[in-house]
């Protein structure tokens, strides 16, 4: 599992698990979404993108199954 603190106006933290293909994104407002089936190539493209928020909207949101995570009650993985 790899956690990154990106330089982003929208995103606070990005966590990726290449074994389970799960991508978890925490926004600055502390909202967390977990995406399933995200390939290592998509994760690499996200991390290399100039705008992580823009890439997330264009290439991940709406394209992968997801769930909103409630940190106080849900396990992180």
Q: Is residue 16 part of a domain?
A: yes
Q: Is residue 75 part of a domain?
A: no
Q: Is residue 54 part of a domain?
A: yes
Q: Is residue 74 part of a domain?
A: no
Q: Is residue 64 part of a domain?
A: yes
Give the pLDDT score at 61. Answer: 96
Q: What does the alpha-carbon distance between residue 75 and residue 46 come to, in Å, rounded to a whole number?
A: 24
Where in the sequence is the domain holding 40, given as residue range(s)? 2-69
Q: Is residue 32 part of a domain?
A: yes
Q: Is residue 52 part of a domain?
A: yes
Q: 55: closest CA among 70, 69, 41, 75? A: 41
Give the pLDDT score at 76. Answer: 54
Decide if pLDDT at 71 tops 80. no
Tell me how many domains the chain contains: 1
Give the pLDDT score at 70. Answer: 77
Rg, C-alpha atoms of the chain: 11
Q: Read off the pLDDT band of 42 (50, 70, 90).
A: very high
């Amino acid at each position: 599992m790899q956690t990154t603190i990106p330089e982003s106006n929208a995103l606070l933290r990005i966590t990726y698990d290449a074994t389970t293909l799960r991508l978890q994104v925490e926004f600055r407002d502390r909202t967390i979404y977990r995406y399933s089936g995200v390939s290592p190539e998509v994760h690499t493209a996200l991390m290399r993108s100039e705008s992580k928020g823009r890439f997330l909207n264009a290439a991940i949101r709406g394209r992968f199954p997801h769930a909103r995570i409630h940190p106080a009650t849900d396990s992180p993985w």
